[in-house]
Amino acid sequence: MLSYLMYMVFLTPLCFVKKSWWLVQNLLFFVSLMFLINIDFFCWSGLSYIFGYDYLSYGLVMLSFWICVLMITASYSVIRYKFYNNLFLFMILMLLFMLYCTFCSLNMISFYFFFEGSLIPTLFLIFGWGYQPERLQAGIYLLFYTLFASSPLLLGIMYLYSNLNCLVFSMFYLSDFMNFYLYLSMILAFLIKMPMYLFHLWLPKAHVEAPVSGSMILAGVLLKLGGYGLLRVFEYLMKIGMLINMFWLSISLVGGFLVSLMCLRQVDMKALIAYSSVAHMGLVVGGLMTLNVWGFYMTFVLMIAHGLCSSGLFCLANISYERLGSRSLLINKGLLNLMPSMALWWFLLSSCNMAAPPSLNLLGEIGLFNSMVGWMWMVMFFLMLISFFSAAYTLYLYSYSQHGICYSGIYSSVSGYCREYLLLMLHWLPLNLLILKSDFVLVWF
């Protein structure tokens, strides 16, 4: 447990050594392999003083390691143009450190501290390496949306401590609070982080302005912090949750449907993928709010699946952007003629996005549908709409970008580099092979 933390601490000086980009990247690949091998059936080996992980934490930490390594692989333009590459590596390592500590905290207050701390490196990534001047506005949106809900969360944690005299997650199972203010303060921060519909406005802005690495970490891991937090706090909010959760569930499903419709009229590829994240996270919030076993298990599955799939799609959008200098679907068309071998990856990752078998998304969505229909059969109508429109906007993205006549302004184009094919394969393979190990998701609860 502590060994990985020390590994990351001692990697930080390496960021500032000249020509150490590949070394840091390969060492991070090595640590993610070490962490992967370390999976065991008895979680006490992962326990230390205020840190420790069960299967829920393990899966999300593994996802964090994986996405952070792939962020470095995707951001080759940073080193090619010598664009403060040392500081860039340092930011990614800081972010990884914060995420690792967040998912492994056993104590509510240390969880809060790292949960809020992960915001800072993300802001620096958006401010420092983003594309347009509007990135400042996007960063401020992200900051204020998150900070708006984080002070009630802190007050809620203090209230818990004054009642229970302890803040260790494993001690919460004894208590069940029937307090509306506590419920709202504990839950709101995580719903904004998810982001739930009505609180989602920061997400498309942040995605569109962020560099590819910022988009990858936002979609891949930072949205999962909300789901993780909710899974942890519902342990002591069951009673009141059973009364009020219907409200959040309804907003999420209606919102998922509306956001799916909004996806169909986007012209920016990144904005389309960002809005599709909001629709998928709507399903996650809906399944989680039913508070039944299916919902809890499959929330975890869809979070992992969405992390890999969304991140891969952002990589693809960035590959097109690096070639053509635009993310607009009006210019990115007929890519099948320009980059024929990339079209296969577009197809594979798009089909995963609309939950085609054998991707992990399929398992997650079927489980969440099961959870919500078991809770109330009338939500079937909205689930049907969300499912249909998720296929519709994914097909729109794929067919619009790959087919048609090439934009006349493009005079030449390069097909993919080996690095990019490797990057896409490392997104796609775990996404489709993890379904063979789907029994592991039933162990963490």
Residue 292: what pLDDT? Answer: 93
244-296 per-position pLDDT tens digit:
999 999 999 999 999 999 999 999 999 999 999 999 999 999 999 999 999 99
Q: Could you tell me the CA-to-CA distances from 123 to 119, 292, 300, 407 in Å, in that order? A: 6, 35, 26, 35
Q: What backbone torsions phi and psi does residue 328 show, to the nearest 5 degrees?
A: -75, 140
- Give the mean pLDDT of 306-326: 94
Residue 413: what pLDDT? Answer: 72
pTM equals: 0.96
Between 197 and 445, name the one with better pLDDT: 197
Residue 41: what pLDDT? Answer: 59
| H/E stretch holding 331 | none
Q: Could you tell me the CA-to-CA distances from 190 to 149, 185, 232, 233, 268 in Å, in that order? A: 8, 10, 11, 10, 27
Confidence of residue 410 (pLDDT cuts 50, 70, 90): confident
Residue 189: what pLDDT? Answer: 95
50-80 per-position pLDDT tens digit:
899 888 999 999 999 999 999 999 999 998 8
124-180 per-position pLDDT tens digit:
999 999 988 899 999 999 999 999 999 999 999 999 999 999 999 988 888 889 999
Residue 14: what pLDDT? Answer: 93
**Is residue 194 classed as helix, strand or coil in its secondary structure?**
coil
57 contacts 104 by C-beta, under 8 angstroms: yes
170 contacts 213 by C-beta, under 8 angstroms: no
Residue 42: what pLDDT? Answer: 61
Cis previous bond, 358, omega within 30: yes
Q: Could you tell me the CA-to-CA distances from 352 to 228, 258, 313, 390 in Å, in that order? A: 23, 21, 10, 11
**Is residue 229 classed as helix, strand or coil in its secondary structure?**
helix
